[in-house]
Amino acid sequence: MTNSVTYDDVHVDFTWEEWTLLDPSQKNLYQNVMLETYMNLTTIGYKWESHNIEEHCSSSRIHERHKRRQTGEKPSVYTQCVKAFTCDSYLQGHERTHTGEKPYECNQCGKTCAQHNHLQRHERTHTGEKPYECNQCGKAFARQINLQVHKRIHTGEKPYVCDQCGKAFSHHSTLQMHTRIIHTGEKPYECNQCGKAFACHSHLQVHKRKHTGDKPYECNQCGKAFSHHSSIQKHKRTHTGEKPYECNECGKAFACHSHLQRHKTIHTGDKSYECDQCGKAFSHHTTLQRHKRTHTGEKPYKCDQCGKAFSHHSTLQMHKRTHTGEKPYVCDQCGKAFACHSHLQVHKRTHTGEKPYVCDQCGKAFAQHSTLQMHKRTHTGDKPYECNECGKAFACHSHLQRHKRTHTGDKFYESNQCGKAFAHQCNLQVHKRTHAGEKTNECKHFYFSLCTC
| Structure confidence at residue 39 (pLDDT) | 54
Residue 37 in this model has a pLDDT that exceeds 60: no
Could you report the per-residue pLDDT of 92-116, keeping only the tens digit for each? 777 777 777 888 888 888 888 888 8
Q: Is residue 248 part of a domain?
A: no
Weakest mean pLDDT among 19-33, 144-158, 254-268: 19-33
| Structure confidence at residue 9 (pLDDT) | 38
- Regarding predicted confidence, which is higher, 85 or 233? 233
Q: Is residue 442 part of a domain?
A: yes
Residue 54 in this model has a pLDDT that exceeds 50: no
| Structure confidence at residue 23 (pLDDT) | 57
Q: Is 415 exposed, middle or buried (0-12, 13-18, 19+ CB in 10 A)?
A: middle
Q: Is residue 434 part of a domain?
A: yes
What contacts 303, CB < 8 A, 6 or more positions away? 309, 310, 316, 319, 320, 323
388/445 same-domain check = yes
Q: What is the mean pLDDT of residues 138-164?
A: 86
Q: What is the mean pLDDT of residues 269-282?
A: 81
Could you report the per-residue pLDDT of 314-355, keeping only the tens digit for each? 788 888 888 888 888 889 889 898 888 888 888 888 899 888
| Structure confidence at residue 57 (pLDDT) | 43
Q: Is residue 186 part of a domain?
A: no
Indicate the average pLDDT of the chain.
Answer: 76
394/442 same-domain check = yes
| Structure confidence at residue 284 (pLDDT) | 75
Q: Is residue 97 part of a domain?
A: yes
In the chain, how long is the greatest CA-to-CA distance?
121
| Structure confidence at residue 334 (pLDDT) | 92
48/105 same-domain check = no
Could you report the per-residue pLDDT of 368-412, keeping only the tens digit for each? 888 888 888 889 888 888 888 898 888 888 788 788 878 877 776
388/450 same-domain check = yes
Q: What is the mean pLDDT of residues 178-188?
A: 86
Question: CB atoms < 10 A from the CB of 208, how many?
Answer: 16
444/389 same-domain check = yes
390/437 same-domain check = yes
Q: What is the mean pLDDT of residues 24-45?
A: 55
What is the Cα–Cα distance from 311 to 293, expressed in whole angstroms?
A: 6
Q: What is the CATH number of the domain that holds 104?
A: 3.30.160.60
Q: Is residue 319 part of a domain?
A: no
55/113 same-domain check = no
Q: Is residue 249 part of a domain?
A: no
Could you report the per-residue pLDDT of 205-226, keeping only the tens digit for each? 888 888 888 888 888 888 888 8
**Domain residue limits at 119:** 84-129
Among 73, 96, 116, identify where a domain stops: 73
Q: Is residue 395 part of a domain?
A: yes
| Structure confidence at residue 24 (pLDDT) | 56
389/450 same-domain check = yes
- State the total domains in the chain: 3
399/438 same-domain check = yes
DSSP 384-430: -EE-TTT--EESSHHHHHHHHHHHH----EE-TTT--EESSHHHHHH
- Regarding predicted confidence, which is higher, 118 or 19? 118
Residue 58 in this model has a pLDDT that exceeds 70: no
Q: What is the mean pLDDT of residues 271-280?
A: 83
Among 111, 129, 147, identify where a domain stops: 129
50/108 same-domain check = no
48/96 same-domain check = no
Could you report the per-residue pLDDT of 276-303, keeping only the tens digit for each? 888 888 877 778 888 888 888 888 888 8
What is the Cα–Cα distance from 440 to 431, expressed in whole angstroms?
A: 10
- Regarding predicted confidence, which is higher, 90 or 262? 262
416/440 same-domain check = yes
